[in-house]
Amino acid sequence: QVQLVESGGGSVQAGGSLRLSCAPSGATWRINCMGWFRQAPGKEREGVATINTGGGSTYYADSVKGRFTISQDNAKNTLLLQMNSLKPEDTAMYYCAARTGSACYSGSWALSPINFAYWGQGTQVTVSS
């Protein structure tokens, strides 16, 4: 089993920045791909960014390309999401997710929540205009 704990959410004005962190524990050696997803009230959960933990390939939703950066801090065994130039439409609960068994494939596949078995509790991000 894999457990995930997110941190770093909060409230910020449009144009500001936030950095989210996710700390995995448990059977972390089984993880092949990790990512960030978000869900706004009344909307479906959507993929934001994912990364293959072995090869480092990254995948981003079009809506965040050029603004968000996903990375790994291997020394701290932590997944990061740097979010810059935040917009009110980025407001959502952000979830960390992990996948075992195989790496993430193409962009759309890698951003689909159904392909991730392990989830954190979420951290709220609110962007005001």
Res. 127 pLDDT band, cuts 50 70 90: very high
Name residue 96's beta-bridge partners. 36
Our CA angle for 125, 97, 19, nearest 5°, is: 35
* pLDDT mean over 46-73: 95
Amino acid 74: pLDDT: 81
List, for residues 99-125, the tens digit of each pLDDT value: 999 999 887 899 999 999 999 999 999
Confidence of residue 42 (pLDDT cuts 50, 70, 90): very high
Three-class DSSP category at 38: strand
Q: Could you give the CA distance from residue 12 to residue 125 in angstroms, rounded to a whole number? A: 8
Percent of the chain exceeding pLDDT 70 equals: 100
What whole-number distance in Å separates Cα of residue 120 and Cα of residue 115?
A: 15
Polymer length in residues for the chain: 129
Place of tokens 């009344």: 42
